Structure 1
Amino acid sequence: MKGMMLRSLLMCVGCLLGSTLGQPSTTPPPYQYQTCAPPNTTQLGNNLPAGTVMPPVPTIPSTFQVRVEANILDKKTTIVAEEYYDMLNNRAALRTITNNTEDYMIFDYTNDQIIYDVNGICYADDMKYDDNQLLFGMKLQHGSGVPHIYTTSDTLHFAKNNGLLYMGRKAVRGIQCDWWRSCMYWSMLQSNFTLDYYFTAMYTNYTWLEPDNSHVVPIRAEITGNQYVPQNNGASYKTFHHIYEYFDFRHSIWAPEAKFMPPRGLKCAGRKSTKPVPNLTAQYSYREEIVDSLDSAISQADVYYDYSYKLVRFDYRPGNVYPYYTSNPVTEIHDYSTGIAYAIDKTLGNCSIIPIQNASFDASINITVNQNANKQFYIRMKSPSQLFYLDNKTYSYEGQRTVRGVLCDVFISKRTDFTLPYISVPFTSTFEFFFLADSWTEQNNLGQKSITKDVPIQLAITTPDSVGYSVTYNLYDWTTEDPSFNRFDVTSCYTVDQKKSFIIEWPGTWDQSIAQYQNQFVRQVTQTITRMSHVNAIRIQKPTFNFDTSNIYFVATLLDVPQPLAYFSKMPNRYRQMSNDKQVTVTSAMDCARSCNDGSTLTGCMSFDYCPSNNLCGLSKSHTQDGSVVAGSTTCDHYDRTVDNTALMRSMDAAWTALKNSVLIGDFQFTVNVNGNPVKFTAGSIDENVKQNAQRQLSSQVLMNKFNMQINKNIPGYDDLVLTGVAIDDCASSCISEQSWVCNSFSYCFDTGYCVLSKLHPDTRPSVVVNKPLCDLYSKKYSADYQMIAGTTVLSSSDTIYQNIYTADQCAQLCSNYNGFNCKSFDFCDGISTCYLGKTHFYDVPQSDRQDSPMCNHFSRKYLADFQKNSRMQLLNKADRIIQNIPVDQCAKICVEQEAASCASFGYCGNSSECRLSTASMRNVGQVSSQPNLWCDIYSRTAFPDGTPYINNPQKYYAPPKSSGYSGGSMAGLAFGMIVLGLIIAVGVFFGYQKFRGSPMDNMAVSFVKDEHDA
């Protein structure tokens, strides 16, 4: 919409409203003068009420918008326009509709450009060389050489200087207006004209009110004049007559972002890019919402990206596609150092280890040419910017726009490198990227940093109508912290034998300030392990940082190498046309892949053919995924390495040996900047007695009631087993279920989930207990394995008595650990600090041996504590003994007391009260099988009464009794204790008699209350 026609048609649109068309000529030639007719004073007087003074010259606001109907009478043409004027931000815009054509001009004075949108085609011109720059003025600001828009007052002063006259009041379109007249000359068109313009009336006793509460707004402008047109035979004059009607004048611009920017998704050729495309960091994570308008669908995904470790993880629902074929949520982790993808079904827990697919959003294909000029392909990881297609040089900065209520910088690119799997013909896509504006900040809930720049907010992709694809990615929780800290967990893809957990310690003096450097510390340790052990980063799993005042601890799990075939992409029924570099005889494709990975067979092996018909394995240094170098075959398959990397993969044992040696000889060193200063760390020790993320069991307070708690306490130096990233119930459960030794206590730190199991019971060495903030010490409550019968004694005739025992828990520990016989119960009399051990369970003794004792309590073993329960399962092929109509705890008792301790498990069906004892154990695969059953449970024996793991035929529990049954305390003390016990029993019988007889004779009663905290 460029050229003289627009200027001549709309030269008055800006004349009145601050968008001036040019400055008046100060020395016009004689023929340029035009004299305005003076106002008719008689008419003026008739129009104005008596005593009314002339109103002030109207003023125009510095920001406004207005709709204009331009009627060009001499052309018999009407043009509709919208004008937007923003002097404060140095910009203006004009939209016109004529001849069924819509044109839009944006005057960007800041960047010295006029942006045109003509029927959806956008381009930009330099304002200094564009004819339409005069529509809104073109002057230099403070002599700086920067183009600037004319102010609204400039135009009115210009009119006033040319003889501005007040003509009185007149009704226009039914609106009472003040009428003004000016005579003007426009030098560019060599035109003289008279301008009449009308503003809503305003004087002392009368004001016309506009819809937006404005008092003085333009209503109409009428221009009549003639233009000097030079011709060969002399000058001539061309007359013109225009009337401009102004509607909906507002003192502010509604939705200004939409007025001073091209429509969304429209890229303007030639527009200056005043802001570079943001650079993304090497590590980041985010959550994205994918809005597919074509399919009317919304989906979500979480992405974790680490370019330094060559790792990408994304969590999503894949649908019915390879390798999942499920709608379950999955986690897919790509390791580009090996070309292996770990596909984990988060619902079922299944894990598939497969090659990374070249259609993956994070994969890029490199193309090389070998000596035979045949194309060869391999996959590589996209760079941080490539992941979002930000590497392309076609992006231009389009200004600022609000999306999701956030002010953003907008970048637009037209590109042809975006493809869709179902479209074979090339097409051009539009990428519109929104980044958080510099005036905004984002604070995430992770890590140490608060992000202030280069934060992506939204990516919108559109394609031509012929393709019909559009998608919007809304990006949330953008985090540039190191995502490698426990984000790429693939341990579920490996068996127990393929994992080795370890702990490394750094001695020193540390305080809480070291915690803020845990991410840097973990990354440096991980990088040092990869360097020392020659493994890639993904094989170092579950890194955990912890510390106390004397040590820093790093706990992690080392994984074995993946299965060999995972490194190669299979091309079925294909083989290499050229001869291979090495041929070996194998029995499987797995063995062939192992030979390719083994550097001793062929250095630099990149692909192989496997022909099962003759067990032939052809190894090749060539890297071919596609092209003419492979041909069809009915007997062979071709396997090509997914990435261009042939580095040897060390086994777990070899890597562990190298790691351990590096610590022991003092080579495990690295530097971390602490408080701005480089600090060198040298590992002091390494150990493999570590478990990570123990198997969870159902959480309950019953579990925690098996331990006594000491707040803010710890026993340093007795860390027999370390667990990390667990809840407190996991820690307690691991202590109870430990199979290889007896766990007597554990410490748990609530701020880190750090758990240390110990063989030491704090009661045996209370002096080693120290203070430790945020950590609590839990000691095994042995009495939890016993059922208490309060106010009762059974073992008054026991020959195994301990004195100076002050808690029931100490007495229970003596019973559980006693070797002289199978201790099944004990009496504890806290009044005389005495413990009696017994061979008999409470329910097995005659009624006559049970006596009331206000000062004593009896405790009998809970046999179910020695078993692990598998609910709703039934034993199938092993039932050595079946007992009907007994409770489940009685079934457990019979199993424990079975001769030679041969009972390893039992099944119990609650609907029939049936007990099925078995010498087979569910813990030993193949000995016994089971099937689901709604009413039955299987109990597998896990421990003896002292907590040691269960084994068959334990001699320690059936050794001959010792000659002396007195195991603690002096004979004199024992004699005194027996006398006191007799007195207590006598007193108990007396009070029992009085209780059943009636009220006390002297109206006095005595009761003995036991403090729960004493047990």
Structure 2
Amino acid sequence: MTWNWFCKFVCIASVIFGITGEPDPDICTPGPGSTDGPPLPVLPDRYRLFVEANIANRNYSTEIEETYDGPGNRGSSFSISNSKYIFSTYDYYTGQSINVDVFTNECFVYNMTDVPFNLYGFVNINGTGHIGGVKDIFTFGSQFGETYMGEEVIRGIQCDRWQSCIYNEQGGDTFLLDYYFSKPGYKMANGAEQVPVRAALNGSGGSNRPGSIIPKRYFNHVYEFIGVDTKPIFTDREFEPPIGVVCDGRVTDKEIETSFPDAFSVNVEVNFPEYNRTYNLREYYNYAAQIMAFEYQPWGAVGAPEDPIREVHDYNLGLSYQMNRLTDECTITNISKFSGEAEITPDDHVALRSSASLLFLDEVYWVWQGEETVRGMKTEGWIAFRQDYPSYLTDQPGTEVNSTWEYFFTRGNWTAEASYHHGVTHIPVMLRLKMNMKMSGVETKFNYESHLFMFNNEPSITAILTLAPVLKKTIRHIYQWKSRENTSENDDGVMVIAYTLLENPSVEGDAATPMPQPTLAEANDNIQLAVAEGLAIQFKYHGGQTQLYVKTNSLKQENGLPGDNSGSSSGISTGGVVGLALGMLLLGMLIVSAGMFAMMKMSKGPFSYKTQE
């Protein structure tokens, strides 16, 4: 450590000018040392300590907290020098050192093999980078020719003193290095014994040869060690750059997982600190059915809807159903191209994005941030920086949008239990987005956090069972059937299944590949044929697959509007909502992340594309 810190101040110039020479006899002459005196202290292979480095010959001091984990092959430090507060990490698996200014969040990435200074050294073993050994870091040990110099009192602490003469041939530096260790039996505040208390370094540098372009110089450094912990308990967070800092050029330690279930749902709480508002919604997504849905309460601005809304996007036809959950009124429109889950095809139609594309997991380079605690859960986070989102803004002349994205997922040893699954891992917990937008020279900052709850990865029918009653004021052409099956001749068990078929909506959708839809009469014939041939209904029951067969010739037809009969029924459309009965689930950050601009604009929320007045 002492030599490495000394090297920080003098080695760069030495490397540049290629200084060579011999030890300065006016300072000392390296030798084998002496075996007299007490045994050398044993240095710990894991430690945390605080150092005050006084560079007396240059009239300034530096403070640094060092965290060294030899067995873990990792290290970090926090230094204060010339009013700069720098946190540094040393990742020997990627071979990178990362320095972050804790006030400005500026980040600089270095390859440890390309820089002359490294606090903890760099050793190449069989082609793999390793952190330096503790003796080399401290420049202390029998290989350095230590000589016992007796006892001294340092800061009131009884210490043993060892001295060595060090010559750095590459830099042409000769110096005496004195180490003071607390004596055995003297317990420090944390219970440690025989720990370094002070190191003093006095010497000269530059070439001793006549005509050297670097004049001879003298240096005097004193390193005060405070709070040396030889049995630290580390967290992974100590060896990672601060959460939320983007470091250009950083190599990720762990790839982000891009696979998600074909169907899932989640509750979302979105916090907008700029507006002191919280927004809640339930989102559903189902890839097999090519349908997504979400339930939300509009912002409540002047002129905006005030009742809760269930909105369903059917990508089989490219139609959006916006249903007022209190009045049963329904509006059918094309799916907006600004919808977060939509992508625009080359021929200017809408299609449902893949789950990886939906989260932008396959569009940007995600860097693993390490461990973070979110809502009391151990999570791991990934971060990405982008300048191309949203494209409908960044494509405009004079507009620049920089955004930082962070996703947090539960670690592998955390599992979730929900209605339709057990023991699921890698659960999305939070999305954090920070945006800095410049439009026509005006800068606007926007931040939000999206917290995800009740993540479920099975299809759910309950979200859309009430669709037909909602649509009854919009679509008037309806057939209803009832099919009754007695499980045995004298069995009291009876299951009645009621279907409601709705005519195709008159609105033409904007789907990239529209799915052909049967007419109401064709749907009627299809169902009657299926029942006549022995229709089987499959479902999960007590963790296993179960199926029931509809009794042939049991189909009865009744005309009327959905909800007119007193029996239990559920509406299922053969047209624009044919896939809804299959169930739908939507990824947690679906609308919030990709479509937040469009949603707030559509809902007449507080966000504006122009300067706030």
Which TM-score band applies after superposition, normalised by the shorter structure? 0.7 to 0.9
2:241 to 253, 262, 287: 262
Alpha-carbon separation, structure 1, partners of 2:337 and 2:455: 26
The alpha-carbon distance between structure 1 residues 221 and 663, as it changes in their structure 2 partners (threshold 3 A), is: same
Q: Which residue of 1 aligns with 2:163?
A: 181
Alpha-carbon separation, structure 2, partners of 1:333 and 1:323: 22
1:697-731 CA deviation, whole Å, 9 max, x = no partner?
xxxxxxxxxxxxxxxxxxxxxxxx97479xxxxxx
Which one-letter code corresponds to 2:400 in the other structure?
A: P
Alpha-carbon separation, structure 2, partners of 1:444 and 1:398: 26
Which one-letter code corresponds to 2:524 in the other structure?
A: W
- Give the Å deviation of 1:552: 11
Matched, 1:113 2:96: yes
- Give the Å deviation of 1:408: 2.2
1:926-970 CA deviation, whole Å, 9 max, x = no partner?
xxxxxxxxxxxxxxxxxxxxxxxxxxxxxxxxxxxxxxxxxxxxx
- Give the Å deviation of 1:663: 3.7
Which one-letter code corresponds to 2:528 in the other structure?
A: K
Contact preservation (8 Å) 1:690, 1:722: no
Tell me the percent identity.
22
1:366-392 CA deviation, whole Å, 9 max, x = no partner?
343xxxxxxxx3222222123322231
Which one-letter code corresponds to 1:419 in the other structure?
A: P
2:66 to 83, 94, 109: 83
1:118-149 CA deviation, whole Å, 9 max, x = no partner?
5533243333333334x3132345xx432222
Alpha-carbon separation, structure 2, partners of 1:188 and 1:247: 31
Which one-letter code corresponds to 1:214 in the other structure?
A: A
Contact preservation (8 Å) 2:243, 2:369: no
Matched, 1:360 2:339: yes
Matched, 1:481 2:452: no
**1:220-619 matches, cutoff 5 A:** 220-229=198-207, 233=211, 237-251=216-230, 256-278=235-257, 279-320=259-300, 325-326=305-306, 328-368=307-347, 377-419=348-390, 425-438=399-412, 440-453=413-426, 455-464=427-436, 466-484=443-461, 487=464, 489-495=466-472, 498-502=477-481, 555=497, 557-565=499-507, 567=508
- Give the Å deviation of 1:334: 1.6
Which one-letter code corresponds to 1:73 in the other structure?
A: A
1:893-947 CA deviation, whole Å, 9 max, x = no partner?
xxxxxxxxxxxxxxxxxxxxxxxxxxxxxxxxxxxxxxxxxxxxxxxxxxxxxxx
The alpha-carbon distance between structure 1 residues 562 and 169, as it changes in their structure 2 partners (threshold 3 A), is: farther
Alpha-carbon separation, structure 2, partners of 1:30 and 1:347: 90
The alpha-carbon distance between structure 1 residues 76 and 153, as it changes in their structure 2 partners (threshold 3 A), is: closer
Contact preservation (8 Å) 1:559, 1:652: yes
Task: Give the structure, 1 or 2, with the largest relative contact order (CA under 8 Å, sep 6 or more).
Answer: 2
The alpha-carbon distance between structure 1 residues 352 and 673, as it changes in their structure 2 partners (threshold 3 A), is: closer
1:218 to 187, 196, 215: 196
Q: Which residue of 1 aligns with 2:123?
A: 139
Contact preservation (8 Å) 1:286, 1:303: yes
Contact preservation (8 Å) 1:10, 1:70: no
Which one-letter code corresponds to 1:169 in the other structure?
A: E
- After TM superposition, the score normalised by the length of structure 2 is 0.75
Which one-letter code corresponds to 2:532 in the other structure?
A: L
- Give the Å deviation of 1:473: 1.0
**1:778-797 matches, cutoff 5 A:** none
Contact preservation (8 Å) 1:180, 1:196: yes
- Give the Å deviation of 1:431: 0.3
2:28 to 34, 42, 45: 34
Alpha-carbon separation, structure 2, partners of 1:55 and 1:230: 36
Alpha-carbon separation, structure 1, partners of 2:355 and 2:296: 20
2:522 to 647, 654, 666: 654
Contact preservation (8 Å) 1:351, 1:492: no
Secondary structure of 2:142's aligned partner? helix
Which one-letter code corresponds to 1:557 in the other structure?
A: Y
The alpha-carbon distance between structure 1 residues 65 and 209, as it changes in their structure 2 partners (threshold 3 A), is: closer
Alpha-carbon separation, structure 2, partners of 1:335 and 1:445: 26
| Count of residue correspondences | 539
- Give the Å deviation of 1:471: 0.6
The alpha-carbon distance between structure 1 residues 654 and 670, as it changes in their structure 2 partners (threshold 3 A), is: same
Alpha-carbon separation, structure 1, partners of 2:326 and 2:418: 27
Secondary structure of 2:28's aligned partner? coil
Contact preservation (8 Å) 1:449, 1:481: no
Alpha-carbon separation, structure 1, partners of 2:460 and 2:112: 48
**Which has the greater radius of gyration?**
1
1:20-79 CA deviation, whole Å, 9 max, x = no partner?
xxxxxxxx9776893479999xxxxxxxxxxxx966533443333223222222222322
Matched, 1:70 2:53: yes
2:173 to 191, 200, 210: 191
Alpha-carbon separation, structure 2, partners of 1:549 and 1:137: 82
Contact preservation (8 Å) 1:159, 1:184: no
Greater shift, 490-499 or 394-403, is seen at 490-499
Alpha-carbon separation, structure 1, partners of 2:262 and 2:32: 76
The alpha-carbon distance between structure 1 residues 481 and 80, as it changes in their structure 2 partners (threshold 3 A), is: same
The alpha-carbon distance between structure 1 residues 314 and 232, as it changes in their structure 2 partners (threshold 3 A), is: farther
Secondary structure of 1:468's aligned partner? strand
- Give the Å deviation of 1:245: 1.9
Alpha-carbon separation, structure 1, partners of 2:255 and 2:548: 40
- After TM superposition, the score normalised by the length of structure 1 is 0.47
Contact preservation (8 Å) 1:91, 1:260: yes
1:250-279 CA deviation, whole Å, 9 max, x = no partner?
346687444322222222222223432212
Which one-letter code corresponds to 2:115 in the other structure?
A: D
Contact preservation (8 Å) 2:313, 2:321: yes
The alpha-carbon distance between structure 1 residues 320 and 661, as it changes in their structure 2 partners (threshold 3 A), is: same
- Give the Å deviation of 1:242: 0.9
The alpha-carbon distance between structure 1 residues 381 and 484, as it changes in their structure 2 partners (threshold 3 A), is: farther
Which one-letter code corresponds to 2:165 in the other structure?
A: C
Alpha-carbon separation, structure 1, partners of 2:43 and 2:479: 79
Alpha-carbon separation, structure 2, partners of 1:458 and 1:406: 11
Alpha-carbon separation, structure 1, partners of 2:122 and 2:494: 68
Alpha-carbon separation, structure 2, partners of 1:312 and 1:489: 16
Q: Which residue of 1 aligns with 2:7?
A: 7
Alpha-carbon separation, structure 2, partners of 1:560 and 1:679: 28
Alpha-carbon separation, structure 2, partners of 1:416 and 1:180: 57
Alpha-carbon separation, structure 1, partners of 2:33 and 2:120: 30
- Give the Å deviation of 1:435: 1.6
Q: Which residue of 1 aligns with 2:599?
A: none
The alpha-carbon distance between structure 1 residues 193 and 356, as it changes in their structure 2 partners (threshold 3 A), is: same
Q: Which residue of 2 aligns with 1:752?
A: none
Alpha-carbon separation, structure 2, partners of 1:655 and 1:323: 40
Q: Which residue of 1 aligns with 2:592?
A: none
Secondary structure of 2:355's aligned partner? coil
Alpha-carbon separation, structure 1, partners of 2:193 and 2:557: 82
Matched, 1:685 2:556: no
Alpha-carbon separation, structure 2, partners of 1:193 and 1:145: 33
- Give the Å deviation of 1:7: 2.7
2:184 to 202, 212, 229: 202
Q: Which has the higher helix share?
A: 1
Alpha-carbon separation, structure 2, partners of 1:280 and 1:310: 15
Q: Which runs of 5+ in 2 are unaligned?
A: 12-20, 438-442, 571-613
